[in-house]
Amino acid sequence: MRIDGKAVLITGASEGIGAACVESFRRRGARLSLVARSEEKLKQVGGAGAVITAGDITLPETRETAVARTLERHGTIDIVVNNAGVGLYSPSWRASIDETRRMYELNFFAPLALIQLVVPYMRANKSGMIVNVGSVAGKMTLPWFTLYSTTKFALGSLTSGLRMELRNDGIQTMVVCPGYVKTRFQTNVIDGHPPDRLLRGRKFAITAEQCAEAIARGVERDARTVVTPAYSWIYIALHRLFPSLIDAQLAAIYHGESAAK
């Protein structure tokens, strides 16, 4: 899909991958509509030309306002980037159910609800793209991130199902599976901490800008799945071919951290 001139709605747009997406899509000539909690940050990121909706994307009124403002300014919604999300490092067997529900509300139900709002307009135009920012953890479960992984598996499955449901409506869907990205994601998790070995591997992480460029290029080539950095496909493939071996290695990382405590 050509991005130039398209109306693009981005959630979680005030920092990290979302803010980097704003710049990547702006450079390609997109007309922007941005959603996040901080109005001040959105104004800094979006500049004078973007539609700004400050609020909690898990609330119906925020989603409805964002869609209405985008349609009022741009007349259409061509691309939705469901980027807002949060992590939870607590072990699944003792994690707070309330905190888990909170994570699901942001990582899965908010994207689904926003999709349900915008798809009728896309169907009317016989065109559009839905981009859901998942994770490598949505391709292979990470034991320090078990419950987070389930939200991203669900989002990936939703993306695939929508593609089939909307096949005759000219609407495309794409799931994005980043690996370790240099953002404040780890410090903004609901609860818990990642293993020390994972933190030490941060030097191999990509930047938010690199991730955003991969997303924009994926939209341009009508990709179904974007894994970034691309070498993460190797780990995904190895997990599919040798699941017991990779599970054992991931468990060793996880339990090594637990033993240190």
Residues noted as catalytic: 148
Peptide bond into 111 cis (omega under 30): no
CA–CA gap between residue 26 and residue 112 (Å, rounded): 25
**Rounded Cα gap, residues 131 and 216, in angstroms:** 10
Q: Report the alpha-carbon angle 126-132-129, nearest 5.
A: 15
State the DSSP H helix or E strand holding residue 81, giving kind and residue range, or none if neither.
strand 79-82
Three-state DSSP class for residue 84: coil
- The helix-helix angle for 146-165 and 97-104 (nearest 10°) equals 30
Give the CA angle between residues 229, 234, 172 to the nearest 5°. Answer: 60
Residues 6 or more apart in contact with residue 157 via CB below 8 angstroms:
none
Q: Which residue type is seen at 116?
A: Q
106 DSSP assignment:
I
